[in-house]
Amino acid sequence: MSARRGHIFVLSAPSGAGKSSLIDRAVREVPGIWHSVSATTRPPRHYEKEGVHYFFLNPDEFHARIKRNGFLEWAEVFGDHYGTPADAVDRRLEAGEDVIMDLDVQGALQVKRRRPDATLVFIMPPSLEELASRLRKRGAETEDRILRRLARAEEEMAQRSLYDHVIVNEDLDAAYRELAAIINGHRGKAGGGA
């Protein structure tokens, strides 16, 4: 068989650690990588578009999808549900495309259990102080929600040893080069063994 099945890369990070910028750049610059679009029950932020940032579902639609096994993984985060539609991911993998996913720690570990060859990458902010200042500058949320995100960030960062790679995002360019090296390194291996 010459056809190569795609590979899954899961990125997790506290929000504000720069994960979205890294994923956007990987999708722009690395050929043949697709960013999986998750479903969520949380309301859209003002800049978010349906089908681009998320598929925005109501709780009934989300639960119906869980029931018919429509998610590769799903999790509850801050009282809202988030999940990865399984069919779109499988189509891309079968077509030989790599898939990059932005998941919380619970979701990343579910993917690893179901697809043990997936590569998990944790993005760390330089410090919690820096993370707090990035979240406040973004101005997208109330102080109460920012404090909840910071508490959760600490909990998630404590689990980074369960990941295959940890990147500290002090400088976006340097962090991107590390991510690109992980992706390309994996492709090199896959190419050699196929």
CA distance linking residue 136 with residue 169, whole number of Å:
18
**Which C-beta is closer to ligand 5GP: that of 2 or that of 161?**
161
**Which C-beta is closer to ligand 5GP: that of 82 or that of 163?**
82
**Which C-beta is closer to ligand 5GP: that of 23 or that of 183?**
23
What is the closest distance, in whole angstroms, from the C-beta atom of residue 151 to ligand 5GP in the complex? Answer: 13
Q: Are 15 and 33 in contact (CB under 8 A)?
A: no
- Give contact residues for ligand 5GP (rule: CB under 6 A): 15, 38, 42, 73, 75, 77, 82-84, 102-104, 106-107
Instruction: Output the CA angle 87-29-91, nearest 5 degrees.
Output: 15
What is the closest distance, in whole angstroms, from the C-beta atom of residue 1 to ligand 5GP in the complex? Answer: 30
Is the Cα torsion angle 64, 15, 169, 109 positive or negative in sign?
negative
CA distance linking residue 57 with residue 55, whole number of Å:
6
**Which C-beta is closer to ligand 5GP: that of 15 or that of 169?**
15
Please identify the residue of the shown chain whose CB is closest to the bound ligand 5GP.
107
What is the closest distance, in whole angstroms, from the C-beta atom of residue 60 to ligand 5GP in the complex? Answer: 18
**Which C-beta is closer to ligand 5GP: that of 103 or that of 179?**
103
CA-closest candidate to residue 77, choices 160, 12, 169: 12
What is the closest distance, in whole angstroms, from the C-beta atom of residue 67 to ligand 5GP in the complex? Answer: 17
What is the closest distance, in whole angstroms, from the C-beta atom of residue 2 to ligand 5GP in the complex? Answer: 32
Strand ranges inside the chain, DSSP E = 8-12, 33-35, 38-40, 54-56, 71-77, 80-85, 98-102, 119-124, 165-168
